[in-house]
A and B are shown apart, each in its own frame.
Chain A
């Protein structure tokens, strides 16, 4: 017996199309215009309040109209009070920039609702000031990854852009990149951070 499962954003209808100004900005960064693929509608973006890149991630998400939720390491509240109820009604895509533990928990819980991690990036800060980004993403995002990491206002916001452009159905995770960026370190993360998207699986 073979699986008939495909990877899509189940139940979220058509992709959200950008406005003209937004499309222009994305175009300047090399993002494909809406129509080829659009933005993945996200129910919520979760971010680790303690870390500056995560704050940047959240700010970008909020700017793009995504509801944000900050955590202090513990995902229990957003899980129990929100996602557990929502995913039981209807699986919806979420994104985040958090410590690895939060993604571990949400990924485990998402499997129960036939959802998968569609995008995963690990950000490891080294003592010499570099940050190593290891990104597992659909092949179609590959051209945007390096330029977006160097873009202002910072890689946290860039991860938000990448997450929002995580493609819709049919694209499997096929690319893994390692990129080092040199940043001015004024916020040292104790542990690696992760950016991620969790989205539903289609059973059709």
Chain B
């Protein structure tokens, strides 16, 4: 067992004993075998010197114990790294951003504090998983739909704090939250929004309370330990419908995106949509590779001839509607009317799901994500997004403009880049996980048995981040091992953002004990040497 950086053996031992006194001896883990369970299963540094690993783990059961742990950590200057359920695979999982930190395992804090069917919200602790909340809703026969990310074993709090997303009208998980309870680095307890008014019944209704809206500073940061969080839920709709719009030509990207953007901004499309190109996402051949290698020199006509030779349409936009059937019908009719302006456009009416669904229907549907049903089916086997489920991946989701040029340029530029890489990168679809935003989804393989794969992946990831930045595209979320690097691309005004982060850090965590290095935010004592 190695000591946390900058901490003497004497202080570390004393701190571990103090943690044990606070939470119970059985909930402090320091053996190599136990601490190894907190390794990042998808680490691109697996088994190497640079792999980020914990020195010990503490698992409190309640808010008071978290407060005690923070006070102890401050007393002995122990770097702590809190996580919810530790399933942020692809972004670091339960491993700390600073190697040697003590991880604060919040899985025992797994209470569903409240679910209001009438006001359509839930208030949960960090150890509650999507599966847990879903079970609560089903067991109490509540007519509410959750919004879920890919795997259902994650935490609504953890996922929202890392800006994750799903598919329903509440797909932007951080935007869909309302109210937080936070333990600060000094052990003080804070409630935000209407939670700051004792007894207010509107904590999960009105986000802002009075004064500055603080909640954002606790996301993708290290300014506090979130111990409760409210989430807005969707009243169970009458129907959910998944449909597609199919456009045949390369240059249809422009009008396709212009109409889609307008429909999204005006609320006609108010949930997740995706855009993929059966041609540019499709299987490669020599002609495809040659066209893509020519970049902007390859004409639309050449691409269209290539698509025709493979009997492929160029674009498919998939949409989802939620609500009363007559409104869903009206929205889809309006969408078809708008897209009829594109010659040879095609429509697929897809599937309509009616509620309530039976247990068998919920279990057997292939569209669990769209229906708010948590699942682990993302791990079921090789797919375009998940080439090797046996090991893992890191995510590279690139925010691009919601325009035809944004879609075409990013697909061609990054597609060509990844094709030259030996890392086995999967180029995915464009997804709208957040309001007014699309991201190109890319997955880079990691391995627990092949260090060369991980080396190639790290190179490919850094090249992709650099290339994206050259085109003014940024990523919205990143793995612990790349946080400084990614933050360096957000460099406006001589890195003013980073300097402001540091100012806040020094104010709220002067000893720098919380999640040092998370999203490039370092305590004063470590800045410059990080």
Enumerate chain B residues within 8 angstroms of A105, measured Cβ to Cβ: 153, 376, 379
A contact residues, total (Cβ < 8 Å) = 26
Asked if A203 lies at the interface with its beta carbon under 8 angstroms from chain B, I say yes
Given A73-B381, A74-B376, A104-B41, also A1-B20 (CB < 8 A):
yes
B contact residues, total (Cβ < 8 Å) = 31
Q: How far is the CB of B393 from chain A (nearest CB, A)?
A: 12
Enumerate chain A residues within 8 angstroms of B85, measured Cβ to Cβ: 112
Q: Is the CB of B31 within 8 A of A3?
A: yes
Asked if B28 lies at the interface with its beta carbon under 8 angstroms from chain A, I say yes
Enumerate chain A residues within 8 angstroms of B20, measured Cβ to Cβ: 1
16 contacts between A and B (CB under 8 A): A1-B20, A3-B30, A3-B33, A3-B34, A73-B377, A76-B374, A80-B135, A100-B390, A101-B390, A102-B379, A104-B379, A105-B379, A191-B382, A191-B390, A192-B390, A203-B26
Q: How far is A30 from B462 in the complex, measured between Cα atoms in Å?
A: 55
Give me the 6 closest cross-chain CB pairs, A-B, nearest first: A3-B31, A100-B390, A73-B380, A101-B389, A101-B379, A76-B376
Asked if B477 lies at the interface with its beta carbon under 8 angstroms from chain A, I say no
Asked if A84 lies at the interface with its beta carbon under 8 angstroms from chain B, I say yes
Asked if B152 lies at the interface with its beta carbon under 8 angstroms from chain A, I say yes
Enumerate chain A residues within 8 angstroms of B376, measured Cβ to Cβ: 74-76, 79, 105
Q: How far is A5 from B17 in the complex, measured between Cα atoms in Å?
A: 17
Contact of A74 among B17, B375, B390 (CB under 8 A): B375
Q: How far is the CB of B110 from chain A (nearest CB, A)?
A: 9
Enumerate chain A residues within 8 angstroms of B382, measured Cβ to Cβ: 190-191
Q: Which residues of A are in contact with B by a Cβ distance under 8 Å?
A: 1-3, 5, 73-77, 79-80, 84, 99-102, 104-105, 108-109, 111-112, 190-192, 203
Provide the B33-47 mask, 1 if CB < 8 A to any CB of A, else 0.
Answer: 110010001000000
Asked if B363 lies at the interface with its beta carbon under 8 angstroms from chain A, I say yes
Q: How far is A88 from B381 in the complex, measured between Cα atoms in Å?
A: 27
Q: Which of B17, B28, B131 has the most CB of A within 10 A?
A: B131
Q: Is the CB of A101 within 8 A of B153?
A: no
Asked if B16 lies at the interface with its beta carbon under 8 angstroms from chain A, I say yes
Q: How far is the CB of B127 from chain A (nearest CB, A)?
A: 9
Q: Is the CB of B381 within 8 A of A101?
A: yes
Q: Is the CB of A111 within 8 A of B37?
A: yes
Provide the B16-32 mask, 1 if CB < 8 A to any CB of A, else 0.
Answer: 11001000001011110
Contact of B377 among A74, A108, A203 (CB under 8 A): A74
Contact of B29 among A3, A77, A79, A101 (CB under 8 A): A3
Q: Is the CB of A80 within 8 A of B131?
A: yes
Provide the B390-410 mask, 1 if CB < 8 A to any CB of A, else 0.
Answer: 100000000000000000000
Given A101-B389, A108-B153, A203-B26, also A76-B381 (CB < 8 A):
no
Q: How far is the CB of A189 from chain B (nearest CB, A)?
A: 12
